[in-house]
Amino acid sequence: MAIVTAPGLAAGVAHAAPATPAVPAAPGAPAAPAPLPGAKSLEQVRKDIEELYRQAGSATDAFNLAESETKAQSEKIVEIANLVVAGQNRITALKGRAGAAARAQYRSGGLPAGAELALSENPGQYLDGAGRLRQGEKAASDLLSELDRTQADLRQYAMDAAAHWATLEANRVKQETAKKQVEEKIKAAEELESKLEAEEKARLIQLEQEAQYKAQTAWLSTGAMKDVKGTATDAGRRAVQFATAQIGKPYIWGAVGPDSFDCSGLTSKAWLAAGKGIPRTSQEQLRLLPKVALKDMRPGDLIIYFDDASHVGMYVGDGAMVHAPRPGRHVTMAGAGSMPIKAVVRPDA
């Protein structure tokens, strides 16, 4: 099965070879290099760094969600402010109409319309006046009712604005808390890595690749890909084209391009480029997008990873996916089963 029929994808794959082979090596392939002395402790360091970055990914999702909710609340407050201005202008206009009616009555000598009608000596004028009086009374009643409704709307707008302000402030607190957590986890991971010698850093990358390869091989050995034969839709191909065109760009938490991405920033922008807006975070993508069975997976679908849905990649075919891995790494191809899969979701269901 071809990875996808979208033009240019093969070139994208060639541009940055997968960090993890999408399929196991053929029989007789060279064995992985023997561990260096002290590799066991280095392996533990790798696991510690990986866990810190996974936690940072989860905190990044919390930050991104709070940021999008903050933006939504800000937009709602602006909308309410515009409604308040329109309501105040409406009340000014209604009061102007009421004032005009009062001035007209004053110019007529101050007699109410009903009194003027009663004093009329002309039956024809009386009947005409009776009709106008009913119309005038209805108009006055409608004006007062409209004034009451507009004032009630303004009171409701004030209550809505207060509620949205409270939510806005709560989201800002969430943002700051999540930002602090992200920065702390990334700093801790970077400090661990900074203590390694150059040879150990090279070995660390090798251990990452070996762990991903081992996970992918184990996943494929279960027959997970045996019945996966789905083909991409036109939108799916466009999403894959966009995602693979970003290969080589750095992971930056909270980034949505064009020069860097985090994991869900990549997938959300890829689908936006394909004409479909989807949720910003991997957790919201899991919650709101339709889930599909693994056997029905097709290129363009999103694979959600880990129990807390803290990572996401885009399936591109042949058991491979494209993703933005973590800080310090770049957008790349990897095996779809190189991390624990939680679910597969479909943006264009």
**Residues taking part in catalysis:** 263, 311, 323
Residue with tokens 């206009």: 93
* DSSP code for 246: T
Could you tell me if 297 and 308 are in contact, meaning their C-beta atoms sit under 8 angstroms apart?
no
Q: SS3 of 319, please?
A: coil
Burial class of 124 by CB neighbour count within 10 A (0 to 12, 13 to 18, 19+) = exposed
Beta strands in the chain (DSSP E): 291-292, 302-305, 311-317, 320-323, 332-335, 341-345
Could you tell me if 246 and 52 are in contact, meaning their C-beta atoms sit under 8 angstroms apart?
no
Query: What would the two tokens of residue 100 be?
Result: 């005009």
Distance CA 213, CA 41 (A): 20
Count CB atoms within 10 A of the CB of residue 329: 15
Distance CA 52, CA 186 (A): 7
Could you tell me if 302 and 285 are in contact, meaning their C-beta atoms sit under 8 angstroms apart?
yes
Closest among 329, 289, 285 to 305, alpha carbons compared: 285
Distance CA 93, CA 95 (A): 5
CA dihedral angle for residue 177, residue 183, residue 184, residue 190, rounded to 10 degrees: 170
